[in-house]
Amino acid sequence: MKNKKLTVSNVNTENLLRKYKLPNMKNRHPLTLSGGQKQRLTIAAAEVLNKEAFIFDEPTSGLDADSMHLVSDRLKELQKSGKIVIVITHDYEFLMETCTETLMIDKNKITTFDTKIDTKSILQVLKNEGEA
């Protein structure tokens, strides 16, 4: 098997750390960061890889409201730059602020929602989650 070279974007890491409100953390070990700081660092690191598609699983886990809005803005910027951004979340506020389309998979059934039109339907689905 041939080794693949990991390529990163030419992004200015100092600027990226500022965008994620982590400029004073660059010399700290990741394990010394708070949960929210680790979460933002993980998303920033993904952004550095400059892939065509990103999948984020519960990206708001451990984030306060300000950090949630920051991550939302960064993911929307990735999308605007032509990247495919897939988010797995139970966070209704984040979903509505960040996502343009919603896909729900439940018991082998796929339902799609437009977050600009189907807000009540999405909220109802999330409220009923886990009910038999």
State percent of the chain over pLDDT 90: 30
Tokens of 122: 């999405």
pLDDT in tens, 33-92: 988 889 999 899 888 888 899 999 999 988 999 999 999 999 999 999 999 999 998 888
Total number of domains in the chain: 2
3-state secondary structure of 64: coil
In a domain, 31, yes or no: yes
Give yes or no: residues 18 and 49 share one domain. Answer: yes
Sequence-distant (6+) residues with CB within 8 A of 53 are: 83, 84, 85, 86
In a domain, 1, yes or no: no
Q: Which domain holds residue 50?
A: 13-89
Give me the numbers of helices (H) and strands (E) for the chain, helices first please.
Answer: 5, 4
- Please give the model's pTM, rounded to 2 decimal places: 0.74
The predicted pLDDT at position 65 comes to 92
Give yes or no: residues 78 and 116 share one domain. Answer: no
